[in-house]
Structure 1
Amino acid sequence: MISIGTPLLWSLFAVFVVVALAVDFFVLNRQGAHRVSMREAGIWTVIWILVSFVFVAFLWWELGGLGDDPDARRLAHDKALEFITGYLVEKALAVDNIFVFLMVFTYFATPPEYQKRALMIGILGALVLRAVLILLGAWLIATFHWILYLFGAFLVFTGVKMWWAAGQEPDLESNPALKWIRRHFRIAPHYDGERLFTVIDGVRVATPLLVVLLLIGIVDVVFAVDSIPAIFAITTDPFIVLTSNVFAILGLRAMYFLLAGMHERFHLLPYGLAVVLVFIGAKMLLIDVYKIPVQWSLSVTAAILGVTMLLSLVIPGQPDAKPRGAYPFTRRREQPPHDEP
């Protein structure tokens, strides 16, 4: 499989991701548990978007976007468009991911000051998971070309399923993963700071925060299965696939706190995402008949998402309903129930 990823580009990208995560964890530990304001979330969201476009600008320049070789300029132009399109698709799918995170936090009455660390751990797991799935997907496509048709059919099916499920209130109480967790863990009826385990009556039990982390990890798996085929429909270059995914995920935590209070405004967005998935799936199914240019993919995706968000602001949505089976507690204990550090 042809890729622009040279050892230098892979090394620079790996160093950047490690530094970005280290800075994020350092800031997280220094701030401690606190409620993230809209201003803070907005600033970090803008920073991550700017960093992503600085990266694609560097990539475009590195590939010869300013050089005299027309072939190099064309390659730089195509790869930059592939990155931007993949980044937009993954960012849009991440918005749907955010709304599911919000549902989990609401269901378990997770205090806002604890959500930040839960999201950070979940994002770290998502980065590792997607790297593995992308490398596996690249190998499958290089070895079995027909797997593209399977990916395309899966995206069309996922898009149709998302369309029919849009607007329906998810029932977390009947979720198989939550049922499995409840069968295998004894769960405390309250939070104990940011601890994942606590001691009640001499017995070590899981806190609701551990359940939240496990569910966020499961959500990451589900969304990765949807989003990885979507990006391979845009490009099969492993370097572009991985970098666009990683940059979309790195800003997920800040974007969550920015959109958490506005999710009802974009109530039609799931319909737009469904249409995007069907379009990308059809693009993959037609790849050997007609290859839709990346410019068209970017334009169509941006237009669908833009129109959907605009209609969401114009057409009023249904009033928010309380998630069914909400967890039976609303406050945390002020004093740790045990003597552990």
Structure 2
Amino acid sequence: MDVGAVAWLVTIGLILGLLAVDLALAAVRPHVIGFKEAVAWSLFYIAVAIGFGLVLIAQHGGEFGTQYFAGYIVEKSLSVDNLFVFVIIMSTFAVPAQYQHKVLTFGIILALIMRAAFILLGAALLNLFTFMFLVFGLLLIFTAVQLFRHRDEDPDVQENVLVRATRRVLPVTDGYSGGRLFTRLDGRRAVTPLFIVLVAIGSTDLLFALDSIPAVFGVTEEPYLVFTANAFALLGLRALYFLVSGLLDRLVYLSTGLAIILAFIGVKLVLHWAHKDIDDSVPEVSTALSLGVIGVVLTVTTVASLVKVRRDPTARAHAGSLRATPVNERNEPRQ
């Protein structure tokens, strides 16, 4: 895929422009995001992502367009798991509703920066060493197994290494200080709890990136498509948070569905490595088939979750974890 410097600059400019609008709205008018506003922004970002995909198809053909849409759907589905953790973080730190918009926008900016770095590194490794397809594939399969094993648990936000380190190193105020990240405490510079929340969201998304970037490389090897699929999925994450945060508890089988998707893409990467390095008779999984499998898994997961909740109203979803949560911390009700 031939993408020139101008296309990259225009794309990055579009993404930065959308982020600037989000930041301006959060800074100028901090407010609680209502349902209608969340729906409007969600539809807007989906329309932008679809429009971008149609432009890709017109300029580069249907194959690259299909790869982009497959990557976008993978990232969008994985981002719902991010939302689970965001809800846990917001409730754990009791973030006032009017400041959640701001911290989510900053969190998305951090996520884009970190993922851009991962994409550049991943693309370079895949170009230099074809066995990295095997490494990425095995990483996704391992992650899928761990996520399935701990599908009924939630990550422990308070025990996040960076959060604990920040609390030890920097003075933290008790209040949110009007939604600022920094303030003064007893005459010296201090951070507010909103800064701690941002650290928690950023470091958590760093862990998500370790799974999502290899997953997208499983459906396309084009760095431009990997970056844009990530970017447009993340841009809609803030609006999606306010739209579905109250409904997430109903998706009781989401972690199971995501584990299946990660395992499927992991196997796809392993087969791709074997096809390249061992024997070209080893079958590969096409992008169209990948898109179909992902769509079916997400549909079945959603329908099965809604049926389960209807039959058992006490059933609640969990974000899933990559490691076991101590027994005394499990099943604690969210505030």
Please state which band the TM-score falls in when normalised by the shorter chain: 0.7 to 0.9
Note if 1:305 corresponds to 2:303. Answer: no
CA deviation after TM superposition for structure 1 residue 320, in Å:
8.0
- Larger radius of gyration between Structure 1 and Structure 2: 1
| Within-5 A mapping of 1:165-184 | 165-184=150-169
Residue 28 (structure 1) aligned to one of 13, 26, 40 = 26
2:329, 2:219 → 1: CA distance? Answer: 38
- The aligned counterpart of 1:117 is 102
Residue 269 (structure 2) aligned to one of 284, 289, 307 = 284
AA in 2 matched with 1:184: V
What percent identity do the matched residue pairs reach? 38
CA deviation after TM superposition for structure 1 residue 255, in Å:
0.7
2:317, 2:256 → 1: CA distance? Answer: 18
| Within-5 A mapping of 1:52-63 | 52-63=49-60
User: Residues 20 and 201 from structure 1, CA distance in 2 versus in 1: closer, same or farther, beyond 3 angstroms?
Assistant: closer
User: Residues 237 and 319 from structure 1, CA distance in 2 versus in 1: closer, same or farther, beyond 3 angstroms?
Assistant: closer
Bigger mean CA offset, 183-192 vs 83-92: 183-192
SS at the partner of 2:163?
helix
- The aligned counterpart of 1:4 is 2
SS at the partner of 1:110?
coil
1:193, 1:85 → 2: CA distance? Answer: 41
| Within-5 A mapping of 1:217-232 | 217-232=202-217
- The aligned counterpart of 1:315 is 308
- Contact preservation (8 Å) 1:230, 1:280: yes
1:293, 1:169 → 2: CA distance? Answer: 34
2:223, 2:210 → 1: CA distance? Answer: 16
Residue 223 (structure 2) aligned to one of 238, 241, 248 = 238
Note if 1:255 corresponds to 2:253. Answer: no
AA in 2 matched with 1:314: V
Residue 265 (structure 1) aligned to one of 243, 250, 260 = 250
- Contact preservation (8 Å) 1:4, 1:237: no
SS at the partner of 1:261?
coil
- Contact preservation (8 Å) 2:69, 2:229: yes
Bigger mean CA offset, 77-86 vs 201-210: 201-210
Residue 143 (structure 2) aligned to one of 151, 158, 181 = 158
Residue 210 (structure 1) aligned to one of 195, 200, 211 = 195
Note if 1:97 corresponds to 2:82. Answer: yes
Bigger mean CA offset, 107-116 vs 185-194: 185-194
AA in 1 matched with 2:9: S
Bigger mean CA offset, 14-23 vs 258-267: 14-23
CA deviation after TM superposition for structure 1 residue 324, in Å:
5.5
SS at the partner of 1:193?
helix
- Contact preservation (8 Å) 1:4, 1:239: no
1:94, 1:169 → 2: CA distance? Answer: 15
CA deviation after TM superposition for structure 1 residue 142, in Å:
0.3
2:317, 2:11 → 1: CA distance? Answer: 41
Note if 1:295 corresponds to 2:288. Answer: yes
SS at the partner of 1:51?
helix
Question: Structure 1: where are the runs of 5+ without partners?
Answer: 64-75, 331-341
| Within-5 A mapping of 1:127-138 | 127-138=112-123
Bigger mean CA offset, 169-178 vs 99-108: 169-178
1:105, 1:7 → 2: CA distance? Answer: 39
SS at the partner of 1:291?
coil
TM-score of the superposition, structure 2-length normalised? 0.88
- Contact preservation (8 Å) 2:125, 2:132: yes
Superposition RMSD on alpha carbons, in Å?
Answer: 2.0
- Contact preservation (8 Å) 1:173, 1:324: no
Question: Structure 2: where are the runs of 5+ without partners?
Answer: 276-281, 319-327
1:232, 1:169 → 2: CA distance? Answer: 27
- Contact preservation (8 Å) 2:215, 2:266: yes
CA deviation after TM superposition for structure 1 residue 21, in Å:
2.0
2:225, 2:113 → 1: CA distance? Answer: 16
2:192, 2:288 → 1: CA distance? Answer: 48
TM-score of the superposition, structure 1-length normalised? 0.86
SS at the partner of 1:11?
helix
- Contact preservation (8 Å) 2:252, 2:316: no
